[in-house]
Chain A
Amino acid sequence: MSNGNNTLLKVVDLKMHFPIYRGVFQRQVGAVHAVDGVSFDVKRGETLGLVGESGCGKSTTGRTILQLYKPTAGDVHFEDVNLVTLKSEEMRLMRRKMQMIFQDPYASLNPRMTVEQIVGEPLMVHNVAAGAEIHERVAHLLDVVGLNASFADRYPHEFSGGQRQRIGVARALALQPSFIICDEPISALDVSIQAQVVNLLEELQEQFNLTYLFIAHDLSMVRHISKRVAVMYLGVIVELAERDELYHSPLHPYTQALLSAVPIPDPVADAARKRKPLEGDVPSPVNPPSGCRFRTRCPIAEKMCAESRPDFREVSPGHFVACHLAK
């Protein structure tokens, strides 16, 4: 499926189940099947978009890749090293190459640290720089993300949301990683600020040859920034394809419904398209439906959809779909 040089990250059948404990003896009575068998590749220098509604497991997938949770099963190969088998010290060293940008720029920066301490901390922790060199490197990083280097002594509360997200980006870049997981980096920002941050991410990608896993629920933004897009539903990837292929000819009924639900900022185009509304809500991941996860809301579900779980098959080159009925 892939040659070793081109693939930066390979996720194989990744599962993350969070146990539920109940009662006096805290017996395990069940598990939240947050991620339940997810496989995909990320190629060097590309942006893979990961979309889905809240609770579908997209953020958990990102965190499990970075081994912030210990996966229940599955493998994560990064540059041909299986991260799942690494000891914690080895993993710590690997994290230099893989960083994360978080959703909430208000919660992900320590309010008691100055910008210099925040952005400089990874340099210190990994013994990459010390003393005056940190000061220089931080000034350079702030410059790269479009902040004035003289802001280094300020605290997070002195910045607006967009500026804080730039600080988060600077921190992620500090160790010169090759891979960054962007976990909904713009959802907490105002519309006019979102474009600033997305443009910055795109510029940095070109400048430093970065690879992104871009997690978001905003399908328009994912379309804008990604080369390939994976759609998640209730812990599994239901469809993965090149961006234009996915948006022009979605094969999975969930992808079709999701795309038709996105409002278009143009009354003419919005009125012209066909809607495929979905009924009901997402079922609980504690006790997901048998067979195909989507069958309870699927407009075309048949008997076999309840009986067996559909394979994640390649229907045309590079276009994968997990549906019995998709052609």
Chain B
Amino acid sequence: MSDLLLEVKGLETQFKTPEGIVRAVNGVSFGLKEGETLGVVGESGCGKSVTMLSVMGLIPSPPGKVTAGEAYYFGQDLLKMSNEEVRHIRGAQIAMIFQDPMTSLNPVLTIGKQLEEPLMLHIGMTKNQARERAAELLGMVGIPNAKDRLNDYPHQYSGGMRQRVMIAMALSCSPQILIADEPTTALDVTIQAQITDLVKRLRDELGMAIIWITHDLGVVAGLAKRVLVMYGGKIIEESEVGDLYANPSHPYTIGLLGSLPRVDEKEHARLFSIEGAPPVLYKKPQACPFAPRCKWAVERCWKENPPLEPVSSEHRVACWVDPKTGRTR
């Protein structure tokens, strides 16, 4: 147990909406090892962001509520801590970067001011120390003339540079864990490549653990060591990265990989497509959430929600059927 930096058990999160209670996360458990990069993949609404926001205590309440589960960070349950206690961990030891660098920076404060704030708040640096460290951090994430650019406002930075600022801010207190929520989705491919290269470099230099949330199986392939695939508020497959792409074992993962065209595509064939659309869960699912879209579904899939079971030592899947043979497990 002790080698896990973060351990989440049985997490459930709900949102009250006019249409009823939406069960966004339904029993998610995973662990994160020290220095590991964990990819979390899924489509919009699958619960990947809500899972991480729940762990960080950032679910707006109301309408949201974490209804069950534990999240241990160095033996302390983050979900049972007071807001005050969580504040000391969030930002300092577990940092987060978000999808949209345009809206995550305050437009009326200079970049320097925003970078200095966590340094003074969490580490207790003086203004001058923080100023110096802020310039260092900007330089570290590859912004030229870092010292001068501290006085600029966010609108004077391009999208890629703003995401660099977000990364600098997240790394300012040397966190143990960096949670990145679709940090490159709003960026162009060449800028995306710059950012992923930067994160890889910083990870190797600083040795932090990363949770990288994305819908892009391509980005995860080059970055993560282990991958969780989520669907309908559940982890449906968990594997070491190589084995996931070589032997995808859940029908949804197989479909997702098949529906992606590849830039190194060999011959032209129709893309494999998953019919239907992802579910919105108003009830706690009693059946497999993917069953309505699954072409391998058998009777049992409609009655019982499959648990995450190992198929090999580093690979677990939640499915009653083995899609390779078509037989039940």
Count of residues in A whose CB is under 8 Å from the partner chain: 44
Whether the Cβ atoms of B263 and A195 lie closer than 8 Å is no
Whether the Cβ atoms of A270 and B265 lie closer than 8 Å is no
Distance A191 CA – B214 CA, assembled complex (angstroms): 11
Mark each residue of chain A from 13 to 25: 1 if its CB lies under 8 Å from any CB of chain B, else 0. 0000000000000
Whether the Cβ atoms of A278 and B194 lie closer than 8 Å is yes
> Among the listed A192, A266, A279, which residue makes an inter-chain contact with B256, where contact means beta carbons less than 8 Å apart?
A192
Whether the Cβ atoms of B277 and A53 lie closer than 8 Å is no
What residues of chain B lie closer than 8 Å to A190, measured between beta carbons? 43-44, 215, 277-278
Mark each residue of chain A from 290 to 326: 1 if its CB lies under 8 Å from any CB of chain B, else 0. 0000000000000000000000000000000000000
The smallest C-beta distance from B278 to any residue of chain A, in angstroms, reads 7
Q: Which residue of A lies closest to B196 (CB)?
A: A263
Whether the Cβ atoms of B190 and A278 lie closer than 8 Å is yes
Whether the Cβ atoms of A192 and B43 lie closer than 8 Å is yes
Distance A217 CA – B184 CA, assembled complex (angstroms): 14
Q: Is B191 located at the chain interface by the 8 A CB criterion?
A: yes
Distance A223 CA – B265 CA, assembled complex (angstroms): 8
Whether the Cβ atoms of A281 and B160 lie closer than 8 Å is yes
Count of residues in B whose CB is under 8 Å from the partner chain: 45
Q: Is B271 located at the chain interface by the 8 A CB criterion?
A: yes
B212-236 CB contacts (< 8 Å) to partner A: 215-219, 221-222
Whether the Cβ atoms of B262 and A264 lie closer than 8 Å is yes
Mark each residue of chain B from 187 to 203: 1 if its CB lies under 8 Å from any CB of chain A, else 0. 01111111011000000
Distance A264 CA – B196 CA, assembled complex (angstroms): 13
Given the interface contacts A202-B270, A281-B161, does A191 sit within 8 Å of B193 by beta carbon? no
Whether the Cβ atoms of B277 and A162 lie closer than 8 Å is yes
The smallest C-beta distance from B196 to any residue of chain A, in angstroms, reads 8
What residues of chain A lie closer than 8 Å to B197, measured between beta carbons? 275, 277
Distance A257 CA – B271 CA, assembled complex (angstroms): 26
Given the interface contacts A191-B43, A263-B221, A267-B242, does A220 sit within 8 Å of B259 by beta carbon? no
Given the interface contacts A192-B255, A224-B268, A263-B219, does A54 sit within 8 Å of B188 by beta carbon? yes
Among the interface residues B161, B219, B262, which one has the most CB atoms of the partner chain A within 10 A? Answer: B262
Q: Is A42 located at the chain interface by the 8 A CB criterion?
A: no
Whether the Cβ atoms of B265 and A220 lie closer than 8 Å is yes
Whether the Cβ atoms of B242 and A268 lie closer than 8 Å is yes
Q: Is A67 located at the chain interface by the 8 A CB criterion?
A: no
Distance A265 CA – B242 CA, assembled complex (angstroms): 11
The smallest C-beta distance from B104 to any residue of chain A, in angstroms, reads 19
Q: Which residue of A lies closest to B261 (CB)?
A: A224
Whether the Cβ atoms of B263 and A259 lie closer than 8 Å is yes
What residues of chain A lie closer than 8 Å to B217, measured between beta carbons? 191, 265
What residues of chain B lie closer than 8 Å to A271, measured between beta carbons? 222
Distance A193 CA – B268 CA, assembled complex (angstroms): 19
What residues of chain B lie closer than 8 Å to A259, measured between beta carbons? 263
Q: Is B272 located at the chain interface by the 8 A CB criterion?
A: yes
Distance A247 CA – B264 CA, assembled complex (angstroms): 8
Distance A219 CA – B222 CA, assembled complex (angstroms): 17
Among the interface residues B219, B242, B256, B259, which one has the most CB atoms of the partner chain A within 10 A? Answer: B259
The smallest C-beta distance from A123 to any residue of chain B, in angstroms, reads 29
> Among the listed A163, A221, A247, A270, which residue makes an inter-chain contact with B221, where contact means beta carbons less than 8 Å apart?
A270
A227-276 CB contacts (< 8 Å) to partner B: 247, 257-271, 275
Q: Which residue of B lies closest to A221 (CB)?
A: B261
Q: Which residue of A lies closest to B252 (CB)?
A: A192
The smallest C-beta distance from A56 to any residue of chain B, in angstroms, reads 9
Q: Is A194 located at the chain interface by the 8 A CB criterion?
A: yes
Given the interface contacts A53-B189, A259-B263, A278-B194, does A265 sit within 8 Å of B245 by beta carbon? yes
Whether the Cβ atoms of B193 and A261 lie closer than 8 Å is yes
Whether the Cβ atoms of A199 and B273 lie closer than 8 Å is yes
B275-295 CB contacts (< 8 Å) to partner A: 275, 277-278
Given the interface contacts A262-B218, A264-B264, does A191 sit within 8 Å of B190 by beta carbon? no
> Among the listed A191, A264, A279, which residue makes an inter-chain contact with B259, where contact means beta carbons less than 8 Å apart?
A191
Q: Is B241 located at the chain interface by the 8 A CB criterion?
A: yes
Whether the Cβ atoms of A198 and B271 lie closer than 8 Å is yes
Whether the Cβ atoms of B221 and A267 lie closer than 8 Å is yes
The smallest C-beta distance from B225 to any residue of chain A, in angstroms, reads 10
Whether the Cβ atoms of A219 and B263 lie closer than 8 Å is yes
Q: Is A6 located at the chain interface by the 8 A CB criterion?
A: no
Q: Is A88 located at the chain interface by the 8 A CB criterion?
A: no
Given the interface contacts A53-B190, A198-B271, A223-B263, does A265 sit within 8 Å of B255 by beta carbon? no
Q: Which residue of B lies closest to A261 (CB)?
A: B193
Known: A217-B189, A265-B260. 20 other contacts (CB 8 A): A160-B277, A191-B215, A191-B217, A191-B259, A192-B255, A199-B271, A219-B189, A220-B260, A247-B263, A261-B192, A263-B222, A264-B221, A264-B264, A265-B218, A265-B245, A266-B245, A267-B221, A268-B245, A277-B193, A282-B188
A sample of 5 inter-chain contacts (CB < 8 A) reads A195-B260, A196-B274, A202-B270, A220-B265, A275-B193
Closest 6 CB pairs of A and B: A263-B218, A224-B261, A195-B259, A261-B193, A53-B188, A195-B273
